[in-house]
Structure 1
Amino acid sequence: MKTVLRVAALGVSVACVASLAPVQSNASSHREAPLIAGTPGLDNTDLYAFVSPDAPETVTVVANWQPFEEPNGGPNFYTFAEKTAYDINIDNNGDAKADITYRYTFRTSYRNAGTFLYNTGPVTSLSDGDLNLRQSYSLDRITSAGTKKVLKTARVAPSFTGKASMPNYATVSDEAVTSAGGGVTSFAGQADDPFFADLRVFDLLYGGDLSEVGQDSLRGYNVNSIALRVPKADLALKGNVSRNPVVGIWSTTSRIGASMKGKPGKLQQVSRLGMPLVNEAVIPAGRKNEFNASVPTGDTKFLSHVTSPEIPKLIEAIYKIPAPATPRKDLVEVFLTGVCKDCGPIAADLNSQLLNKDVVKKSFRPSEQLRLNMAVAPAENPNRFGVIGGDLAGFPNGRRLTDDVIDVTLQAAEGILLPDPPAAVKTLGDGVDANSAGFRSHFPYVALPNEVSVNQQ
């Protein structure tokens, strides 16, 4: 019965969590919508935000793009797209609008465009002449007061092309960590995909007979990662962390599109990601692209998919696991408002911008964001279950690399945060409890890229 509950609930988890937005296929936001699936370099996969464990006066945001990078996917390895804005958006007053945007834009060059090789010899540093394809980026901080150039020409850690080509890749990757002054540190480059989950739920709930569980479907794959570490005061409303510790975060990708008249186009948003699993398994296929192009101020149009999610009803019909009663105000609180005593049925103050003392409450709007209370100190021994495991520094209060969002969200979907949930809810999980690769203990924290072909693992 435990196995049945485990498998069934994963379907619930993906559904309810995703109930906020359009979605389709794999992982947290991997290949989730028809349009963006055809342009993987623009596809947000995951977003993380946490108080930096080794620099607790700062917050680290990790945003990943380009799903399912096979380590040996040459000769055209994996680059960030040009003429594209990779944005990290911060809402510190709860009006569902970006008060701060950190914008990354990339440039690509070749030392020798006459060869197909990514590198023409062993690469031992970012400045090595044998690194043929090179990327750099600029970083801007955009607010209502204007745009500030944070970094002008920072180097990107290259794709890992093999041990012969890059015998000391860890050194090359760490060399891409760039200080911008004022306590700001940035990184862009390839990394192991830190999301861990068994994704075979999409094969008729694990093959239709509950026999396929416990496999990390993302093991061995890489992503393009952006990591940004900034002082808490840089994010807080009015720069005051003690009065206003809660921020909401989401990442977006926007590309330059040609106008119908053949004139230079403007940036058009094509991908968006806040809470994990939102872009995944509930909204009809016809609305997936709509969500990716939408802004948080309009998220109430997806409300019905949160208050009355479809998957718990299907699980109840198929596996006889009772679905929590609707409307699901607890899920609205977790995903659209943040958790506070005045927000909904969860009797706790945790991570809603309404907890910020300088917020104008009448301007607050429910919206899908990853919310973080920066006043919660890092846990000495993080619990993978985050808040439901008694660790308030973890998901859904932000998201750490080690947080098991599949297990947490499926338990939330089945009512773990409601009064007197069934005891069986606490046993629900997908059988994948940790990432296959060890994370770095220092910024940018993400693990180094995988080296071995996926089909050899």
Structure 2
Amino acid sequence: MQNYHSYHDRSVIDSFMSVASVAFGKEPAIAESGDYTFFAGARSDAFFFDFDGIKNLFDIRGGRNFTALHLSGEFPWTGVDSNTQANVCSMVLELPTAQLLDTTPDIRIWGRCSVRRDGTLLHVDRAGHPSVSSFFNTDDTKEEYNASEPEHDRDRWMPMFVHLLGHTGGYTDEEAVAAVDAEGILPDMLTFNPALPAKYPNGRVFTDDVIDYRLASLTKGDCPPSGLRPHTDTLQVFPYLGPPH
């Protein structure tokens, strides 16, 4: 069994917690401590996708969520970005790349969302790779998946992923396992090797069309690209995400 550990510099975190504030306006409240820069608050969401086009590709009846993909031969995309006016609650941390280069060899990142219930934080959702939870889980499995942790992903979820890839892309069991391993989606943690260019699935940048990538993977390249363009309101300077709408 693999163990997944998190590392943090407690003094840096304590420093940010003492001076950082959550910003909801146009101007970001930026906190700095030595080589670290931190922001938390509302920003424009850089994620772009054609939701009506996605719905044209899937039969979501019967609690199947986005797992019953069908390619009818008709072009599914509308050409309309469904996310141009959305905001996202963001946390941005900038640090020297040199501090990441001694990883062995990759950084693996996942996040959880918790709700406070009876005085206790209850883990109810998580994310690592973009869109994996949506496209691999039915309504019957998504709550268990989202409430679990990556440590047990391969044992618990590999058979389901293999079955789905056989259905959506005609993968053999061996091909499906190889595809999952090549992308590193189980365990479901976003992998980044700082010695290599950042482009999904090695990390993720704002211009990556992760929906096109996921659908191409599911269908062995048979799903046509959506043709959408990345958002133009991202910034070249910290915190990189544009002001909220």
CA RMSD of aligned residues (A): 2.9
Aligned mates of 2:229, 2:133 — CA distance in 1 = 22
State the AA in 2 paired with 1:253. C
* TM-score (normalizing by structure 2): 0.80
Asked if 1:403 corresponds to 2:208, the answer is yes
Asked if 1:156 corresponds to 2:156, the answer is no
Percent identity of paired positions between Structure 1 and Structure 2: 27
Pick from 441, 448, 457: which aligns with 2:236?
441
Q: Provide the secondary structure at the position in 1 that maps to 2:15.
A: strand
Give the equivalent residue in structure 2 for 1:184: 36
Q: How does 1:85-100 map to 2 (within 5 A)?
A: 95-100=2-7
Give the equivalent residue in structure 1 for 2:178: 330
Pick from 49, 70, 73: which aligns with 1:197?
49
Runs (4 or more) in structure 1 with deviation over 6 Å come to 206-209
* TM-score (normalizing by structure 1): 0.45
Higher relative contact order (CA 8 A, sep 6+): 1
Change (3 A) 1:432 1:396: same
C-alpha distance after superposition, 1:61-95 (max 9, x if no partner): xxxxxxxxxxxxxxxxxxxxxxxxxxxxxxxxx93
Unaligned runs of 5+ in 2: 60-71
Aligned mates of 2:53, 2:4 — CA distance in 1 = 34
Give the equivalent residue in structure 2 for 1:79: none
Aligned mates of 1:206, 1:215 — CA distance in 2 = 18
Unaligned runs of 5+ in 1: 1-93, 102-140, 160-168, 259-264, 315-321, 338-365, 377-391, 417-424, 451-457
Aligned mates of 2:76, 2:200 — CA distance in 1 = 29
State the AA in 1 paired with 2:198. A
Q: Provide the secondary structure at the position in 1 that maps to 2:136.
A: coil
Aligned mates of 2:77, 2:58 — CA distance in 1 = 5
Aligned mates of 1:414, 1:212 — CA distance in 2 = 16
Aligned mates of 1:249, 1:186 — CA distance in 2 = 17
More helix by share: 2
Q: Provide the secondary structure at the position in 2 that maps to 1:255.
A: strand
Q: Provide the secondary structure at the position in 1 that maps to 2:140.
A: helix
Aligned mates of 1:283, 1:243 — CA distance in 2 = 31
C-alpha distance after superposition, 1:338-368 (max 9, x if no partner): xxxxxxxxxxxxxxxxxxxxxxxxxxxx511
Asked if 1:374 corresponds to 2:226, the answer is no
State the AA in 1 paired with 2:24. P
Between Structure 1 and Structure 2, whose CA radius of gyration is higher?
Answer: 1
Aligned length: 229
Give the equivalent residue in structure 1 for 2:86: 221
Asked if 1:430 corresponds to 2:235, the answer is no
How far did 1:334 drift? Answer: 3.6
Q: Provide the secondary structure at the position in 1 that maps to 2:195.
A: coil
